Amino acid sequence: MRDSKIFRSIVLSAGLVGFLEPAVAIDKNLAVRPEAQSATSTNDADLQKIKELIAQLGSDDFLTRREAESQIIAMGAMAFDHLQEAQNNADLEIATQAEYLLHRITVDYWIRSDDPEEVRELMKSYAKVSLAQRREIIGQLGVLNDAMGVGALSRISHFELSPRLAKFGALAVLGAREKHLKLAETVALSIRQEIGDSPRDTARWLRTYADQLQDTESISPEWLSLIDAEAALLKDEPEETSLDVVIQLMQFHIQLCADEKHPAELFESLRRRIDLVVDQGGTPRDILAKTLLWTMNEQEWKALELMEAHYGEQLKQDRLLLYLVAIARAERGQDVDAKKIAGRAFDLVKSDNAERANIADIIAEYGHHDWAEKEWRFVIDHSEVASQESMDARRSLASWCLHDRGEDQEAAELMAEVCDAVDADPQLKQRVMHDNELRYLMSDLRKSREFFTACDLNKKGDHAAERKHLDLAYAYQTDMQDPDILIAMYRLPNQDEAYRAKVKERIRQAANDVDQLIEKYPDEALWYNHWAWLVSNTEGDFSKAVRYSHRSLELSPDSPSYLDTLGRCYYAAGDLGSAIKYQRQAVEKHPQVQVMRRQLTTFEKALAESKLQDKGQP
């Protein structure tokens, strides 16, 4: 199905990861030292000696201070953690000298002989490169197979002098939890050996993570304390962390709670994330909407109930948020409550018509076209005919509802009301033509008027007139060619060879144009879907259409429109079983869309006929 104005909500994470039973296994690529000591382990005598030397950094005697500095430098990594603590010493001289010495210590511990080859290759230049390049190395270590990069990342979390880089190192470990579950005991041991008793924040994160790997039945309460501490640090000492760091730490905890089904802890983390984004200047309504969408998409119903209770007053006063709550109730099968809440959302007085139109587009994307239709019709009835909100509402109502129900004449008339009003009023026409957005919308409405008229004529069997209006629709296009116009042209019956050749060339050129856009924007799902929909409904490489359609769903998972396209691609490729499988998924997600239901009926009928033919029945 071609794209309409799709609401691209930014959710907090991808879908839930299935529970993986931790396995005690040794990965040959995961280096674990046989000794049960960390790099900075110290015996009692060494510990006492380090404490004495650090105290001497505050001595009034110059020579005593210099001798202490020399001995601490010679100790190297053994003194690292103690110098970290000494930076907060009440004696300013000790704190200053501790910070200085941390930069003087040569940590020759970035690479170990038992590191996997891939890790050694990445880490060989770590000590010499810029902070930006170190960040890139951290990212590369984080995506290595299995738990190969855990040791090096833990080392970075321990010894990296840049607090932010150390935290990104720890976050790279946390971000690979799904892989680590299969090697829980080994990963936990490797982490503990690398960080020892380090007092750094990152070491606390990793120790808590190691404990968590070995106990998947509960969520450590320490996580929320760590999150709160990092959020406070962002406010009080922003040079020590960043918003990105805090968000990633929260995101890890959110996904952890979702994976292990702990809704109360999940809510607490979501609430903290909302508060953080608002504190950083975010709009409360936007972050609430995104959080509601995430909990709904992940079916975290208990956490959603807790959100409704906590933010009840804010939800009641906002049309969009109320509609999202209604959608969530409908997803849970609570249709009566859903309709009541949707009714309250519609009846809210505040908000302008442009916002109503935008909200209608959002709720239509979630399959509630009846609620959306009320909003669109309200906007049309209460807006100037040639206003942007009127045009937007008319386009959406015509595409989502009228055309879908086969009411193409009414859809065309809805466009015509604007076109005729603008053509009849020179001053209005001048105003529209001097506004870039209105001019574009006006051209799109003219195109849609001709296309819907052609669709109506198709049902009446007047194909000569249909062709005339399709040609007009094609001419009104201002940018990318509308695949549905080309598809209708391709399907016109009883056309001469010259016309058919011209249409085929247009399809070929349109597909090439979209291929260039895909090359330019390889992570944009829209263009993969556009190409797949056009080709699967006309002619071309159907196998490529299937691949492109799958790619669109990788980039925009579970999109009903893209699932509809995938069903069509498999139908064109002759795989009726897969066509029906994905078409049913599309219909399940958007049960109100009639065109999806009609396409499913077509596929099922084709499969039934195919089975009869296989049996030799006419």
Q: For 288, phi and psi rounded to 5 degrees?
A: -65, -45
By three-state DSSP, how is residue 429 classified? helix
Taking only the tens place, the pLDDT of each residue in 333-360 is: 999 999 999 999 999 987 789 999 999 9
Q: Which residue has the higher pLDDT, 6 or 584?
A: 584
The pLDDT of residue 107 is 58
Minimal CA–CA distance to 478: which of 507, 444, 451? 444
- pLDDT of 402 > 80? The answer is yes
- For the segment 560-583, the average pLDDT, to the nearest whole number, is 97
Taking only the tens place, the pLDDT of each residue in 306-320 is: 999 999 999 999 999
- pLDDT of 37 > 80? The answer is no
The pLDDT of residue 529 is 97
Helices (H) and strands (E) in the chain, counts: 33, 0
Q: Name the one residue in this structure whose structure tokens are 């709670």.
A: 257
The pLDDT of residue 20 is 27
Please check whether residue 50 is in contact with residue 72, taking contact to mean a CB–CB distance below 8 angstroms: yes
Query: In Å, how far from its chain's centre is CA 551?
Result: 15
Task: Give the span between the Cα atoms of 394 and 381, in whole angstroms.
Answer: 11
DSSP string, 293-339: HHHHHTT-HHHHHHHHHHTHHHHHT-HHHHHHHHHHHHHTT-HHHHH
Q: How far is CA 254 from CA 118, 275, 294, 466, 616, in A?
A: 31, 14, 11, 54, 57
Task: Give the span between the Cα atoms of 351 and 356, in whole angstroms.
Answer: 7
The lowest-confidence range among 142-146, 414-418, 580-584 is: 142-146
The pLDDT of residue 76 is 67
- For the segment 546-564, the average pLDDT, to the nearest whole number, is 95
The pLDDT of residue 2 is 59
Task: Give the span between the Cα atoms of 522 and 226, in whole angstroms.
Answer: 38
Neighbours of 242 (CB within 10 A): 16
Taking only the tens place, the pLDDT of each residue in 169-201 is: 999 999 999 999 999 999 999 999 988 888 889
Taking only the tens place, the pLDDT of each residue in 463-500 is: 999 999 999 999 999 877 899 999 999 999 999 999 99
- pLDDT of 41 > 60? The answer is no
Evaluated on CA atoms 321, 323, 327, 332, the torsion sign reads: positive
Taking only the tens place, the pLDDT of each residue in 112-161 is: 888 899 999 999 989 889 999 999 999 999 999 888 999 999 999 988 88
